[in-house]
Structure 1
Amino acid sequence: MATVELTADNFDEVVARGGTVLVDFWASWCGPCRQFAPVFEAASEKHPDVVFAKLDTEAQPQVAAVFEIRSIPTVMVVRDGQLLYAQPGALPAAALDDLITQAKALDMDEVRAQAAAAEAAQQK
């Protein structure tokens, strides 16, 4: 499956579709980003039920700023609108596959309940 190019205009639409979305924050000048790109692309072929999206931090600095991207590549996983993971660093293929498998296996009702409880605790 081809990756989706994210911009400020389509970011919310792509991430809000539901399901699992992996975002690769990258830039063309970044060596580790270029090394990670084939790993990300191969994972997109292996997991056709996941949306794989790339956001060029140079072309879309406002979106990168919203997510406080300070180091690239950064991989972000969103499932059903819930941010599950966001860490800088290029992942090896096996680690990326494991991350995807874990995200798919999560009980999202439990994740939403935990997020709601954490938010309620912060407001006290």
Structure 2
Amino acid sequence: MATVDLTEQAFAETVQDNDIVLVDFWASWCGPCRMFAPTYEAASRRHEDVVFAKVDTEAEQRLSAAAGISSIPTLMAFREGVLVFSQPGALPAAGLEQVITAVKDLDMTEVHAELARQQAGQKAAQRP
């Protein structure tokens, strides 16, 4: 599967409607972004069960700001709509494969349980 370009309008739907979504935040003027692009594209062909998306930070400035992007490239991984990985910097092919494997191997029952515990703790902390 080839990479897909994400816009602000399609971001939430893409993340929510797919089991695993990797998002590469990049810009055309960014040398490390251009070096990472072939690695990312090659991984997209090897892992057809994963959505490989790209966000052009120049064209999608509001989305980039909302995602807290301060350095590019930044790779984010979502599983079942949950952000499970975020790291700036271009990864080598082996590093990208490790991330993909780790995301696929996550115990999402435990991830969702931890999120519920965190949200309950935040609600309790907000009570007077």
Q: What corresponds to 2:53 in structure 1?
A: 53
Matches within 5 A, 1:34-73: 34-73=34-73
Count of aligned pairs between the two proteins: 124
Instruction: Compare CA radii of gyration and give the structure with the larger one.
Output: 2
If the length of structure 2 is used for normalisation, what is the TM-score? 0.94
> Within the alignment, does 1:106 sit opposite 2:106 as a pair?
yes
Percent of matched pairs sharing the same residue:
58
RMSD across aligned positions (CA): 0.7
Deviation at 1:121, TM superposition (A): 1.6
**Which runs of structure 1 show a deviation greater than 2 angstroms over 4 or more consecutive aligned residues?**
none
CA offsets 1:56-94 (integer angstroms, 9 cap, x no match):
000000000001100000000000001001110000100
State the SS of the aligned residue for 1:9. helix
Give yes or no for the alignment of 1:88 onto 2:88. Answer: yes
Tell me, which stretches of 5 or more residues in structure 2 are unaligned? none
CA-CA distance at 1:120 after TM superposition: 1.3
CA drift at 1:39 = 0.5
Cα drift, residue 51 of structure 1: 0.2
